[in-house]
Structure 1
Amino acid sequence: MINANDVRSPILWTLSSGLLATLTYLIFRLISHRRFYRDLPGPPHSWFWGHIKIFGLYTRRLPHGSYFQAALAQMKEDYSLPDIFYLDLWPIGPRFVFCSSPETAALPTTIRAFPQSQLIGKFLDGTLGSTAIEATNGALWKSLHRMLGPGLTPGAVKTYHSFMIEEATVFCDKLKVSAQNEEVIDISARIGELLFDVVSWIVFGESSHAQSTGSQLHHDLGEILEILGRTSASASIPLPAWLAGRRQKRLVNAIDSEVNQRIHQRSLALQEVGDNTMKSAPKCLVDRMLLEYKKNERPLNEVANKLILENTKGMIAAGFNTTADVLSKSKYVFILLSVHPEVRRKLCEEHDTIDKHPTTTIQHLQDNPSLLQGLEYTTAVLYETMRLFPISMVCRDPPSDVETIEHEGQSYVVKDHAVGICSYMMHYDASVFPEPKEFKPERFTGAQAYARSGYRPFERGLRSCMGQSLAMDQMRIVLLMTVRWFTFDLHDYEPSKTQLFSHTDMDTKIGKYAFQQMNLTAGPPGPVRMKIHGDVKGEC
């Protein structure tokens, strides 16, 4: 008979040998990997942890779910890190090389435009989609940019002013009711509804009425973006990540169904007009994509339908959550105005130069949209808000023929790394912006000088945000129609007695809103509760 032990012994020996070989390989790879970073610029490096442990020490100081920009800026300040430095987060995160000065940030963006990082496509895959313009490169990106770009130029945006004002009027009417009822509202949700309706006009050619009757698409998309933020903050915790994934799939199916239905409606509308559609300007961004296929006699097959669906979702999400980010930062404008009454007073003085009455102000604006461009201080307030609360970090992948970048006579390896351009670090750098902790809109007025490559609210170069003109004009309109007739008192913001990090004291002024949270972009955490006061008898 064959002894069971005789059978088990070879199996156990084989398993043990395999385990030992795997362990030996992992140890060898760990040592080899860590040795690469040992003498490279960066925070203190551990042969075992790399930079994982020290990065964790900084991020754990932030409120749960916060975006890590502030941790990077504090780390750079504490260790006097150079303009280019490395973060070794393998194996739990990417291999990063950061460009943290105006000169170095220009290297992968304007001097040579590096491709969008594959990390972006992975982040968007399964929600907005990997063919959304934000995640694409090469010929596909150029094709999408050619389709969509003309609908977001400054000239095109001027043609949108009528419905931008119309939706802002609905926003003001709701504020009047809240002021009359002495309500404490979530201004973040109100602004989200306003911006979603504006973006719906631009994407679909009609409002979604999120402000008036509510929109299921707005609700579902908002929840998807919230899930993206939660899962990026807790991706390593299996159960929450699994539950979020299940909910995410149900929401994506509902969103895809609604968006496909609205794309189909636009397709039918174009068919009704017939050949005349080729001679007239497209009504909306969906029309631009559909007409591109019609013009070139290309079939709307499965690949084309997927491309149109994912880019429609991407434009809606970017519009209502970011539209070049200033739209989401409009929430921070109201937060900052609530604690800086002197800035609000100066805004009111500038707005009075157009007209002192709400109704005639709107009429002047409709008759002469170029008035918005003359609002220098209003623009400065928006710029300064975006300096203090910038977009999420830009991430690029080096082209296949690029192994190093050069700066001040030094070569830095970028091959097999994600190249991070963190505008937050530059925006809080005193050598780029003097007194960086202070909210000083005046730094963007008159002949005030600042390094253009150091201020990156819309990014720079070929991949700069297409929606920046739309975003700026929409927020100028909103401020022009609100700040003279409403005041916003921030509630439940829990200001800190001592600042968490030395590079910013914003947490002592606006409390929990000082550190942004991550979803599709960086924005204020949770609801932004405010009590509205105003002349409720006046008209917006």
Structure 2
Amino acid sequence: MVLGMVAGALSALAIAFILNFCVNFYNHRRWFRGLPQPPHSFLWGHLKIMGEAAAAAPPDCHPQVYLTSIAQKYKLKGVFYIDLWPISTPMVVLIDPAVMTQVQVTQVLPMHPMSEDFMKPIVGPDNIASSNGAVWKLVHNSITPAFSWSHIRNLSAVVIDECDTFRSRLDMLAETEKTFSMETVGSQLIFDVIARIVYSFSLNAQGTGSQDLEDLRGMVKLAHVQLSWNPIAKFKAIFSRRALHRRLGVSVSTQIQQRLKVLTDDQIVPHRKNPHSILDLMLREHLEQEDLVGNKKNSTELSPEYMKILITNIKALLLGGQGTTSDTLCYIYMLLSKSPEVVAKLREEHTRVFAPSFNETIDILQTKPSKLDELDYTTAVIRETLRLFPIGFGVRQAADGATVAWNSTKYPIDNGIAVVSNAHSLHYDPEYFPSASTFNPERFIDPATAVHAKNNMWTFYRGPRACLGQNLAVDELRIILLETIRDYEFECVNLQPNEKQKVAWSDLDETFGDICFQKIGLGAQVRDGMIMRVKKVGTN
């Protein structure tokens, strides 16, 4: 009798569960009725359509690639919806500048919880990229002065110094004619730059190598496992991730404590207008609270909560600061390897604005870093590369009842849906960028198209949560190109061009093969290491 009662109770629970699922299933699918979207299946939602888009592209692409394929295949404009329930969070995709402005500038939506779910295993909780509220404001306000134009110009000497090592490595690679991963070599260069900005000293990734960089890159590789359906792979990744977190945590916390001790021993409260490092800015609030100048206190104790925030966000800065910039550098060299006419224009501009020789160029750059602003064509090359290869997207969440307007119609963006501003789809829309898959820096130079192109390029996004490091990244890239383009030529090795383009919106793969499809990582990143060979062509 007891077994019968237990069986009856279990049956009742099962029936209740099934009924509840069916009700939720029906209500969820019904929510999408009448909204702009690709063909919607009541059984599958858009899972099959997303699967078809993924199957047409190389494996592990960043989702922005799939969304662009769907938008162009089904002629979707402005706003459209993708229903991936129950496998993943449904999304509303924004691909019009006016609509994207509404969620980034006008309403300034907070980050969606799925952003924290993705970022937390990589760098930790409460990071500047995915946090909201008081924590985000604290971190954002503390580090913002480090990214002002006046301070960035003071950092030119740092980039020049690290580029000297980069050039020495290129010389060696050119002499030996060895192939190498530009993703690896470029990331080591940029990591040494960002480490000096964060800590005020180099971690020497280009010289002896940096365990911190290797561990951070390892965390990004494990991010792929987070998206896997293989439970064994996910289980193994937990232990690998813990080991990396422990080692990184010890390294970063050691630097924090050592710097805090120096500041307290020397009775220094860093100044916001002339920061020695980003770490100094992040320690400034603690030092002000201690009132070191007035009372000569000597507290090197940070609260556990604030220490966790510092460790997380220094890891995020070190990782984000090198990843997207080094990826962009890879794509610039890739595009230039097949664009000799662009290389010729770059060399002419560098000689005209600075000087014919390398040494003269560096002398001018060190005394007048503002002359980087005169490199219009170089900046256009960077912008055009970022247009073709945007760094990915952030996912926002709206409050109940929130909407966006497009073509005089309001569309819902609430109900827990992921609000995605997909710059990739905008950048490949021929309405905004004619011949969208063509590498054409002139579109950012020609007076007839330049303003339109700049206004519709959303790689770094807009508003309070726009990328803080965008000006630094552009300056870094201008200096690196200035120091390398006249003296070196880069060749992509082992290219396997596709006989027929895989996607309708780009034919770049007919020249470069699958490496032109960004894969998912921390953002949208380089595929297969960008294997290259370099040749020395200039003179010092």
Q: TM-score, normalised by structure 1?
A: 0.94
Q: Where does residue 243 of structure 1 map in the other structure? A: 236
Cα contact 1:196–1:316 (8 A) shared by 2: yes
Structure 1 residue corresponding to 2:463, chosen from 461, 464, 467: 461
* Residue type at the aligned position of 1:101: D
Question: 1:419-457 CA deviation, whole Å, 9 max, x = no partner?
Answer: 110000000001111110110000011422316553112
Query: How much does 1:279 deviate?
Result: 9.7
Query: How much does 1:264 deviate?
Result: 1.3
Cα contact 2:128–2:139 (8 A) shared by 1: yes
CA distance in 1, matches of 2:27, 2:169: 61
Q: Where does residue 146 of structure 1 map in the other structure? A: 141
Structure 2 residue corresponding to 1:199, chosen from 194, 198, 205: 194
- Identical aligned residues as a percent: 31
Aligned residue for 1:156, secondary structure, equals: helix
CA distance in 1, matches of 2:273, 2:435: 51
Q: Where does residue 73 of structure 1 map in the other structure? A: 68
Residues 1:36 and 1:156: Cα distance change in structure 2 (over 3 Å)? same
Structure 2 residue corresponding to 1:97, chosen from 92, 103, 106: 92
Cα contact 1:102–1:452 (8 A) shared by 2: no
Cα contact 1:106–1:453 (8 A) shared by 2: no
Aligned residue for 1:420, secondary structure, equals: strand
- Larger deviation: 137-146 or 176-185? 137-146
Query: How much does 1:408 deviate?
Result: 2.1
Q: Where does residue 295 of structure 2 map in the other structure? A: none
Q: Where does residue 225 of structure 2 map in the other structure? A: 231
Task: Name structure 1 gaps, 5 residues minimum.
Answer: 1-5
Note if 1:39 corresponds to 2:40: no
Q: Where does residue 532 of structure 2 map in the other structure? A: 530
Query: How much does 1:189 deviate?
Result: 0.5
CA distance in 2, matches of 1:358, 1:232: 46
Q: Where does residue 497 of structure 1 map in the other structure? A: 499
Q: Where does residue 386 of structure 1 map in the other structure? A: 386
Q: Where does residue 438 of structure 2 map in the other structure? A: 438
Residues 1:535 and 1:118: Cα distance change in structure 2 (over 3 Å)? same
Query: How much does 1:113 deviate?
Result: 1.1
CA distance in 2, matches of 1:61, 1:279: 50
Matches within 5 A, 1:137-536: 137-228=132-223, 230-234=224-228, 236-275=229-268, 277=270, 281-297=274-290, 300-322=302-324, 326-353=325-352, 354-400=354-400, 402-416=401-415, 417-447=417-447, 448-450=450-452, 452-535=454-537
Cα contact 2:358–2:483 (8 A) shared by 1: yes
CA distance in 2, matches of 1:117, 1:276: 36
Q: Where does residue 108 of structure 1 map in the other structure? A: 103
Aligned residue for 1:392, secondary structure, equals: coil
Q: Where does residue 3 of structure 1 map in the other structure? A: none
CA distance in 2, matches of 1:209, 1:105: 40
Residues 1:288 and 1:276: Cα distance change in structure 2 (over 3 Å)? closer
CA distance in 1, matches of 2:312, 2:143: 13
Question: 1:71-114 CA deviation, whole Å, 9 max, x = no partner?
Answer: 21111111111311111111111121111111211110122211
Cα contact 2:269–2:284 (8 A) shared by 1: no
Structure 2 residue corresponding to 1:12, chosen from 7, 10, 13: 7
* Residue type at the aligned position of 1:481: E
Aligned residue for 1:461, secondary structure, equals: coil
Cα contact 2:501–2:507 (8 A) shared by 1: yes
Task: Name structure 2 gaps, 5 residues minimum.
Answer: 292-300
Query: How much does 1:509 deviate?
Result: 1.2
Structure 1 residue corresponding to 2:122, chosen from 117, 127, 131: 127
Cα contact 2:99–2:404 (8 A) shared by 1: no
CA distance in 1, matches of 2:537, 2:384: 28
Cα contact 1:34–1:47 (8 A) shared by 2: yes
Cα contact 1:121–1:136 (8 A) shared by 2: yes
* Residue type at the aligned position of 1:361: T
Question: 1:493-522 CA deviation, whole Å, 9 max, x = no partner?
Answer: 211010001110111111121110111111
Cα contact 1:43–1:75 (8 A) shared by 2: yes
Aligned residue for 2:290, secondary structure, equals: coil
- Larger deviation: 326-335 or 215-224? 326-335
* Residue type at the aligned position of 1:216: Q
Number of equivalent positions: 527
Query: How much does 1:275 deviate?
Result: 4.2
CA distance in 2, matches of 1:490, 1:280: 43
Question: 1:226-279 CA deviation, whole Å, 9 max, x = no partner?
Answer: 211x22442x22122222222111111111111111111211221232146569
CA distance in 1, matches of 2:272, 2:394: 39
Query: How much does 1:462 deviate?
Result: 1.2
- Larger deviation: 470-479 or 10-19? 10-19
CA distance in 2, matches of 1:213, 1:439: 37
Query: How much does 1:297 deviate?
Result: 3.0
Query: How much does 1:212 deviate?
Result: 0.7
CA distance in 2, matches of 1:71, 1:55: 7
Cα contact 1:170–1:211 (8 A) shared by 2: yes
* Residue type at the aligned position of 1:405: V
Q: Where does residue 29 of structure 1 map in the other structure? A: 24
Cα contact 1:327–1:471 (8 A) shared by 2: no
Cα contact 1:453–1:460 (8 A) shared by 2: no
Aligned residue for 1:411, secondary structure, equals: strand
Cα contact 1:494–1:512 (8 A) shared by 2: yes
- Larger deviation: 513-522 or 236-245? 236-245
Cα contact 1:74–1:501 (8 A) shared by 2: yes
